[in-house]
């Protein structure tokens, strides 16, 4: 009788790399990548819950994509010669394992690459630093109130580790801190300034809080239900 059972050795299925989950796209910006005309790709997902987050729809890692990575590449293909660079922002771009390949895709098309990050994944930042022409590092708060501002523990040490990596590799960068007196006091802000000065940070900017943020309540410091989002 013919043996019809399968006796062939199992074949491993090909590994399928995930594509970048994209929560939005700005076709043209002059302010998000210094001295370059750029598009901004907003990456879906963020592990933090900052009290003033102005992109709350980008926080859920499994939020519905605004467009596919292939659609982003198709758009960029039409912008060759018109744009200088592409900014990966978020959300938190380094959350996604697909980020390095997405950056390589963009570089292969001839664009320069910038990253906006809050620096909570220094190991992942180290992986993509060789692919970057510029980094905007958000330093959310000084050590004493970092956990409260971002709604997560032990982030400050990670951000400082990311800053050390950026400074050591010599890539162009800017540190940015959003501050108003409702968030924390000037003494704490001075503490942060001193820490950055000790590290020889040469580019540090103060960002203005957008009061229209749906997550920000200037009386309470945060909106109710904010920490229960994801």
Chain residues binding ligand SF4 by CB under 6 A are 46, 48-50, 53, 55, 58-59, 90-92, 118
Minimum CB distance to ligand SF4, residue 6 (Å):
48
Alpha-carbon separation of residue 17 from 26, 68, 69 (angstroms): 25, 14, 12
Please identify, using beta-carbon distances, which residue of 203 and 210 lies nearer to ligand SF4.
210
DSSP secondary structure letters along 157-177? HHHHHHHHHHHHHT-EEEEEE
What's the closest the beta carbon of residue 125 comes to ligand SF4, in angstroms?
14
Question: Which residue, 84 or 217, has its beta carbon nearer to ligand SF4?
Answer: 217
Q: How far apart are CA 103 and CA 156, in angstroms?
A: 26
Nearer to ligand SF4, 118 or 196 (CB): 118
| C-beta closer to ligand SF4: residue 87 or 118 | 118
Helix axes 69-78, 99-108, angle to 10 degrees: 20
**188 three-state secondary structure:** helix
Nearest residue (CB) to ligand SF4, 48 versus 75: 48
Task: Please state the closest distance from residue 24 (CB atom) to ligand SF4, in A.
Answer: 12
Q: Which DSSP letter does residue 209 get?
A: P
State the minimum distance, in angstroms, from the CB of residue 122 to ligand SF4: 15
Between CA 116 and CA 94 the distance in angstroms is 9
- The nearest distance, CB 10 to ligand SF4, in angstroms, is 42
Q: 83 vs 98, which CB is nearer to ligand SF4?
A: 98
Peptide bond into 88 cis (omega under 30): no
Sign, CA dihedral 42-47-48-49, equals: positive
Q: Report residue 227 as tokens.
A: 């920490």
Lookup: tokens for 90 = 């978020």
Provide, rounded to whole angstroms, the least separation between the CB of residue 23 and ligand SF4: 10
């Amino acid at each position: 009788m013919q043996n019809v059972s399968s006796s062939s050795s199992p074949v491993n299925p090909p590994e399928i790399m995930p594509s970048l989950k994209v929560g939005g796209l700005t076709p043209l910006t002059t302010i998000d990548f210094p001295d370059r005309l750029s598009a901004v790709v907003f990456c879906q997902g963020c592990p933090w819950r900052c009290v003033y987050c102005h992109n709350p729809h980008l926080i859920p890692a499994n939020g519905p994509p605004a467009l596919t990575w292939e659609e982003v590449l198709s758009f960029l293909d039409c912008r060759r010669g018109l744009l200088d660079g592409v900014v990966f922002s978020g959300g938190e771009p380094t959350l996604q394992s697909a980020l390095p390949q997405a950056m390589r895709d963009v570089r292969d098309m001839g664009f320069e690459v910038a990253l906006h990050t809050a620096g909570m994944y220094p190991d992942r930042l180290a992986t993509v630093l060789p692919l970057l022409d510029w980094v905007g590092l958000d330093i959310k708060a000084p050590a004493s109130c970092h956990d409260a501002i971002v709604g997560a523990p032990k982030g400050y040490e990670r951000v400082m580790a990311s800053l050390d990596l950026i400074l050591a590799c010599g890539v162009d960068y800017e540190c940015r801190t959003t501050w108003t007196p409702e968030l924390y006091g000037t003494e704490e802000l001075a503490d942060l300034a001193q820490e950055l000065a000790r590290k020889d940070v040469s580019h540090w900017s103060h960002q203005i809080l957008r009061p229209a943020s749906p997550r920000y309540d200037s009386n309470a410091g945060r909106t109710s239900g904010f920490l229960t989002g994801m």
